[in-house]
Amino acid sequence: MGVKIVETVLRDAHQSLIATRMSIDEMIPIMQEMDKIGYYAAEVWGGATFDACIRFLDEDPWERLRIIRREMPNTKLQMLFRGQNMLGYRHYADDVLEYFVQKTVANGMDIIRIFDALNDIRNLHSAIHAAKKEGAHAQVAMSFTLGDVFTDEYYVNYAKQCESEGADSICIKDMAALITPYRAASLTKALKENISIPVDLHTHYTSGLASMCLLKAIENGCDIVDTAMSPLANGTSHTPTESLVAALKGTEYDTGLDLVKLTEIRSYFMTLREKYIKNGLLDPKVLACDANALIYQVPGGMLSNLLSQLKQAGKEEKFEEVLREVPKVRADAGNIPLVTPSSQIVGSQAVFNVLKGERYATVTKEFHDIIAGKYGKTPTPIDPEFSKKILGDEQPITCRPADLLEPELEKLRMECAEWIEQEEDVLTYAMFPKVAPKFFEKRRNKKYGVDPNADAQNRVHPV
């Protein structure tokens, strides 16, 4: 049996290159052709798509999912799900999470890739069980990072916990392009020797190593790999699908995909790529490899975020200093992997430390909450002295953070009652309570032809 391919062009590829701005109208013309390819799965939803749909594209994310399901009936659909954070940036109560998973599967999702930024298994428990209850495939993604604690043994132990929790497959999620070919080989081999469920490798091309990493992982038993159609591959995106299919053709790892059929898909996305370059959405800079990722161990998106924060403060010249501060802040915070939302939290704190000229003179609420245990258990214990410096007399929590949350679905329903046109709207509101009402109002105006400026002062908006 050959290697299985997850095609990311409809989600992570455009999230990585053009800030998730590909619209459903741009996807529809090619989806039926993609459905004939025979991909193991197409990653189409989750991650930042939900946010981008309502914030920038004026699209209902649930309707997007239903359209994709209709257009691609023969291909498994996959999404990225941030464990207890779901698609938002805080922990949600279990009743909201269970309802979200139920509605996601009911609208056509097959595979839910679940990860936690801290690799805390407790933050995955509810999501794995909810996915399995609804009959979906629960894939657990381990956030890959570097550091003394993050050995192959660390990941094998984590994978074993995930398997016993009910995971149907394991993904090595290398969001910052930190894995190297021989590490991909050793880690895949160690996982295959210790767990009985399939292993998937997800890595980015940022550092220029992705194709070599996939090949070495495949040679060591990797079952599934993530790639992107070549017009939206490379750079901060992924290995080109066609190149890998060609590389494995005629070997024991042959994907069975047809290069000629893939060429037709390529032509369509090439036209889109040209459009994105022309309208400025695709900056050719993000297509270049940057081995700095291996030096700073910072995801590409985090680098640009740090630079933008410094520009706003008129302190661009502090960039190198901030990059040197990031690993120190990360170490203080228990060596957490840098992935949403922890990358933003560590990055912002590093910027404050440098700009204030004194470390932790200002502490962000989110950084405080990491130290307080509100995001979960960190990979290494936090120094009690440091914890006291940040928290004062407050005691950090040691339970699963969501255990402290009261059920909140009914409360959320009441808050957004005036906007609800479909059951899923409460979930859209739960994810983005500030952005969703604006989206709902636009949707209503479009539907009833209402002048958006009329009677605005008389409308009540949920907070």
Same domain, residue pair 334 and 432? no
Same domain, residue pair 327 and 184? no
Same domain, residue pair 333 and 450? no
Question: 417 in a domain, yes or no?
Answer: yes
304, exposed or middle or buried, with CB in 10 Å at 0-12, 13-18, 19+? middle
Beta strands in 37-168 (DSSP E): 41-46, 76-81, 111-115, 137-143
Question: 293 in a domain, yes or no?
Answer: no
Cβ(441)–Cβ(452) under 8 Å? yes
Question: 60 in a domain, yes or no?
Answer: yes
- Mark which of 278, 313, 338 sits at the end of a domain: 278
Question: 67 in a domain, yes or no?
Answer: yes
Question: 289 in a domain, yes or no?
Answer: no
CATH number at residue 119: 3.20.20.70
Question: 285 in a domain, yes or no?
Answer: no
Same domain, residue pair 132 and 272? yes
| Amino acid 458: pLDDT | 39
Same domain, residue pair 420 and 393? no
Question: Token digits for 98?
Answer: 């269970």
Same domain, residue pair 332 and 237? no
**Which residues make beta-bridge pairs with 74?**
none
Same domain, residue pair 117 and 219? yes
Same domain, residue pair 102 and 162? yes
Same domain, residue pair 316 and 261? no
Domain carrying residue 350: 298-398
- Listed in sequence order, the residues at least 6 apart from 215 whose beta carbon sits closer than 8 Å to its beta carbon are 181, 247
Main-chain dihedrals φ then ψ at residue 73, nearest 5 degrees: -70, -20
Question: 403 in a domain, yes or no?
Answer: no
Question: Token digits for 314?
Answer: 């008129």
- Listed in sequence order, the residues at least 6 apart from 298 whose beta carbon sits closer than 8 Å to its beta carbon are 176, 306, 323, 326, 338, 343, 347
Distance CA 242, CA 257 (A): 9
**Which residues make beta-bridge pairs with 453?**
none
For the chain, what is the domain count?
Answer: 3
Digit-by-digit pLDDT tens for the chain (463 residues) are 799 999 999 999 999 999 899 999 999 999 999 999 999 999 999 999 999 999 999 999 999 999 999 999 999 999 999 999 999 888 999 999 999 999 999 999 999 999 999 999 999 999 999 999 999 999 999 999 998 999 999 999 999 999 999 999 999 999 989 999 999 999 999 999 999 999 999 999 999 999 999 999 999 999 999 999 999 999 989 999 999 999 999 999 999 999 999 999 999 999 999 999 999 999 888 888 888 778 877 776 677 778 778 888 899 899 889 989 999 999 999 999 988 788 889 999 999 999 999 999 999 999 999 999 999 999 999 999 999 999 999 999 999 999 999 999 999 999 999 999 999 999 999 999 999 999 999 999 887 776 555 444 433 333 3
Question: 188 in a domain, yes or no?
Answer: yes
Same domain, residue pair 83 and 208? yes
Distance CA 105, CA 41 (A): 15
Same domain, residue pair 366 and 429? no
CATH number at residue 334: 1.10.472.90
| Amino acid 450: pLDDT | 62
| Amino acid 448: pLDDT | 77
- Could you give the count of Cα atoms lying within 13 Å of 40 in the half-sphere of its Cβ? 19
Same domain, residue pair 227 and 196? yes
Cis peptide before 299 (omega within 30 of 0): no
Is residue 75 classed as helix, strand or coil in its secondary structure? Answer: coil
